[in-house]
Amino acid sequence: MKRSGSRRAAVVGLRAVMGLVALVLLVAGVWSSWDAAHHIVLAQGREHGTVTVTECGAETCTGRYEPDAMSAARARVVVERSVAVAEGDRFPVVVRPGTDVVVRTGVPGFLHAWVPLGGAMVLAALVIGGGVRMPRTAWGVGTAGAALLVATFVAL
């Protein structure tokens, strides 16, 4: 049985749309991750130090900031709350320029910053496998995303 030209065009169009959806998911994951990750990746020239968490709320934690080099100590800085942040914890951070908000650095901070990309990769893998009909690529993207999520869990 031969397929008609219009059926082939519809299949190609559907795959193109699904490819675009997968691309949008991946770009959104990078965009969301880059907000925190660029402070870690491009940390040269920023204030580095250590934070000691003293109090945690529903979404953020606060603590004392002790600088590593020439920056000033701060009595109170804010760090995003995650499952890996509890009162009394100490970890290295970098200060977001012009604010009292800090971002965790080191391998755990780097991996935590890229968690949105890991989730986007897992979601995009479903679209790539089901909509674009590229199962090997889907397995690769999904496995890489899952590995990023598991590595973050282990590191934190």
56: part of which helix (H) or strand (E)? strand 48-56
Report the predicted TM-score, pTM, of the whole model to 2 decimal places.
0.84
Give residue-wise pLDDT tens across range 82-119.
767 888 889 999 999 888 999 999 899 999 999 999 99
Spatial CA neighbour of 133 closest among 26, 30, 11, 32: 11
66: part of which helix (H) or strand (E)? strand 60-67
Q: Is the pLDDT of residue 3 over 90?
A: no
The mean predicted confidence, pLDDT, of the chain is 91
Q: Where are the alpha helices (DSSP H) in 87-134?
A: 106-113, 115-130
pLDDT interval class at 156 (50, 70, 90): confident
Residue 6 tokens read as: 């219009």
- Mean pLDDT for the stretch of residues 128-139: 95
Residue 123 tokens read as: 């979601």
As a whole number of angstroms, the distance between CA 115 and CA 33 comes to: 7
